[in-house]
Each structure stands twice: as C-alpha cells, then as structure tokens.
Structure 1
Amino acid sequence: MEFEKMKVEIWSDIMCPFCYIGKRKFDNALEQFSHRDKVEVIWKSFDLAPNLKTDTSIKSVDFLQKHKGMSKAQAQHAIERVTAFAKETGLDYDYDKVVIANTHRGHQLIHLAGQAGFQNEMKERLLKAYFIEGRNVDDVATLIQLGQEVGLEKAAIESEFNESQFAAHIEQDILEARNIGVSGVPFFVFDRKYAVSGAQPEEQFLNVLNKAYSEWYAKQEFPELEVMQGASCDASGNCD
C-alpha cells in the first residue's frame, strides 16, 4: 500500500551554530528510524541577521563583541562552548576561519536545490563551508562552486542570483515561522503536530519521529504544536 511521505520541516540559518549541530543529531536519529524512507525533510529559511553586511575582515570574537555586546572573554567563552558542543557531534568548527557573511544568497541556493531534489545536500554543504572551511557564503563565485558540487547547473545558479525567483519563498518561510511561533532556530516541525526547538539529543528526535509517524500513519489530527526546548539561536541572533 502506497503512502505519501510524512513531512518534517526545519527552520534554520546557515550562520547558526546550533543549526548544524541540530541537523547532525536529527540526521543520526533519522538514520535509526525504521520508516525513514517515508519521511520528507524540507528546509525552511530563517534569517538571524537580515541586515548584516558581509565583512571578510572581522573575526568571530570581534563580531560577538560588536553586535552582541559581549566582552572579549564572554565572546571567547561562547565560541569555545559551542565548538566543544559541536565536537561531541563529530563536527570540527573552526571559528578562526569563519567569514561573517549575510546568508540570504545561501538561502536562495537551498531553495533552488530543493526544486532540483537535493536540498538536504545543499544545506549540508553550506553549513560545512561556513563553520568548518571558512568559506564566504555570500560570495557568488563561491556559491556557484558549492552549488555545482551538489549537482546544480551553473546557469541555473546564475539565473537565480540575477532574478531572485526564490526571494519570495524565503520571505514566506520567515512569515510562516512567525505565524507558528518560531522564536529561535533550529526548529523542527513534524507533520505540523509536534515541534522540537533546538539541538536536542538524538534520542529525543527519534522519540518524536516515532510518535509523529505513528499518528500520521493512523491519520490522527492534533491542531496545536507541542514544543520540546533545546539549545538554539533566537531571532535576535543570540545563541544559547
């Protein structure tokens, strides 16, 4: 008997450190989920710093001091803390190389890849480029290269950056997030019935996958989201 896939929608930003950690934890949980072939993952845009101007000269410590009002010691501690958290998940963040960049073009690329059928691969590639490789995710040439690596055509990427056909999709994602009460990312919504906020343990994601799937399979209806809280970055760009 054929079934449609259960949707898991994930609001996330490329510059959010907990978003990459949360993605890895969710990916690991999904790999353990026995019905993973019946799950469709959809990446939604969330812009933590829409007015941020890309600055390749500024270091992450200085950025946190200037834009978050932290002391140098507080900024360094925050970076060390999230780096250690990422390490536990198998991710080697390199904040010495991170390029402070506006992520709007990156979101365009994720939507474009979604149309082509490999949105998850594009999301993963951009997160790795930002947090591990120190690539500028606002640079068109860089984005063209990253897009081609996951299978996008150069002409399609250039067309998107020239015409911004997915700009409206990004705004729609952000409006939708506001409407369902998303105040921080990552934010995972399972079949529009349950939500997980933050980089929760794999076991938590697996539990929610099992619960949401069993109810989706039975076609039960639950109109309100039940939210499980975890480490995240809020709408003001504060990560905790």
Structure 2
Amino acid sequence: MSAPRVEVVLDFVCVHSYLGFTRFRHAAAAHRRTGGEVEVRFAPFQLRPDASPDGEPLFELHARERGEAVAREIATSSIGEKDGLRLNFRRAIFTNTFEAHRLLAAASEQDNGEVMAERLFRAYFTDGLNIADPPTLAALADEVGVAAPVGGADSLRAELDRVRALGIDMPPVFRFPCGTITGSGEFERFRQALRELA
C-alpha cells in the first residue's frame, strides 16, 4: 500500500512558499519519526512566468514597483527568523523559475525532491544565487546528488497549466487527501493534517 500523498504547490521566489514548505517539512519529519508515512508531490507555480532568466536584484524590483521605503522595510524584515531561516532580501536575485522547477521535477523522480526544494529556496533567499543560471543549477544538483534534468520542458509546461486549471492563483498550496491548506500555514496545523492521513 502506497503512502498517503500531499501535493505541494510552490514557487521559489515566493517567501510564503519558503515559510510554508519549511513548516510543512518540519511537520512531515515529526510525522515520520512517529512511524507515519507521507509522500510529497511537488507541483510548479510561476508567480511571474515572463521574468527574465538574467535576473535582477530583488531590492531594485521592490523599489521600482513598490517604492524605496517599502523595499527598505522588506530588506530589514525579520521574517523567517522564528522558523530558523536567514533571508537576505538585499542579496536575492529575482529571476525566472522555470528551470528551477525543471530541476525539482528531475530531483523528485530520483527521490530527492524535498532536499532539492529546500536547497533551491536557500540558494535564492540566503545565498543570492540566480536560480535560472544553468551552471548554478548544475552546481546545486551536484551538491544535492541528483542528475541534472534532460528534457522535461513540455511536461513542466503541462503541469503549470494543470495547476492553473485547478484555480490556484497564488502559492503556496498544500493539497491533502482530506483538505487543503493555503498560505504559509503553521507547524501544528500541518501536524494535525498529517495525523489525519492515518
């Protein structure tokens, strides 16, 4: 009998996706330590599918679109600290996430999706890496120990279309067999939803 499945819809440039995935992952680890089972299936979402893969500093994007005062407020935010995350909004390079999702799909096929997802988030939000850059993605794949994707672009586009057809217009979304949690959620809420899988 296969483990119950949770579908996780996220995008790597979405801070709420990072927070939600971190809390869910901690809850899943606790669930597994007590003998519970759960299979995580990742589903892609692109907040800005037209973003350039060349990337630009996130601070500059915020300043242009929201004003410099807001950009500074975001850059000095303590968001993520309670979850043990070090987010550097001044260092982050906003970019297109298509290739990062393609790498995650390949890693998932190699049973390394959860580790790869965390590394891609950290590369973007902490390390200031352009996660659309092919050599950068190759290095991250090597670090995690997965083979870089070959092909898969068409299937990824089909998955992006499927997620949109579900009516999802903002990540993250955690689709449990017994219900859905939207937004970054809380550890205890994820923990309870995982208990209900049993």
TM-score by length of 1: 0.76
Contact 1:108 1:167 in 2 (8 A): yes
Which residue number in structure 2 is paired with residue 116 of structure 1? Answer: 110
Which residue number in structure 2 is paired with residue 74 of structure 1? Answer: 70
Contact 2:12 2:97 in 1 (8 A): yes
**RCO higher in structure (CA 8 A, sep ≥6):** 2
Which residue number in structure 2 is paired with residue 24 of structure 1? Answer: 22
Which residue number in structure 1 is paired with residue 38 of structure 2? Answer: 39
Amino acid at match of 2:50: N
Which residue number in structure 1 is paired with residue 180 of structure 2? Answer: 195
Cα offset, 1:20, TM superposition:
1.1
Alignment of 1:22-171 (within 5 A): 22-33=20-31, 37-56=36-55, 58-66=56-64, 69-81=65-77, 84-153=78-147, 157=148, 160=150, 165-171=151-157
Contact 1:55 1:99 in 2 (8 A): no
CA change 1:63–1:50 in 2 (3 A) is: same
Partner of residue 180 from structure 1, selected from 149, 166, 172: 166
The CA distance in 1 between the partners of 2:73 and 2:188, in whole Å, is 28
Contact 2:51 2:96 in 1 (8 A): yes
Amino acid at match of 1:41: V
**Percent of aligned pairs with the same residue?**
25
Contact 2:11 2:47 in 1 (8 A): yes
Amino acid at match of 1:42: R
Contact 1:45 1:107 in 2 (8 A): yes
1:207 aligns with 2:160: no
The CA distance in 1 between the partners of 2:12 and 2:99, in whole Å, is 10
Amino acid at match of 1:25: R
- Structure 1 spans left out of the alignment, 5+ residues: 215-240
TM-score by length of 2: 0.91
Cα offset, 1:101, TM superposition:
1.6
Which residue number in structure 2 is paired with residue 229 of structure 1? Answer: none
Deviations along 1:39-85, whole A, 9 cap, x unmatched? 100111101111101345x432220233xx3121122223444xx22
The CA distance in 2 between the partners of 1:96 and 1:8, in whole Å, is 33
Cα offset, 1:151, TM superposition:
1.3
Deviations along 1:202-240, whole A, 9 cap, x unmatched? 0111112222x14xxxxxxxxxxxxxxxxxxxxxxxxxx
- Structure 2 spans left out of the alignment, 5+ residues: none
SS of match in other structure, 2:5: strand
The CA distance in 2 between the partners of 1:54 and 1:100, in whole Å, is 9
The CA distance in 2 between the partners of 1:144 and 1:62, in whole Å, is 27
Contact 2:31 2:37 in 1 (8 A): no
Which residue number in structure 2 is paired with residue 219 of structure 1? Answer: none
The CA distance in 1 between the partners of 2:54 and 2:66, in whole Å, is 19
Cα offset, 1:36, TM superposition:
5.9
The CA distance in 2 between the partners of 1:113 and 1:140, in whole Å, is 15
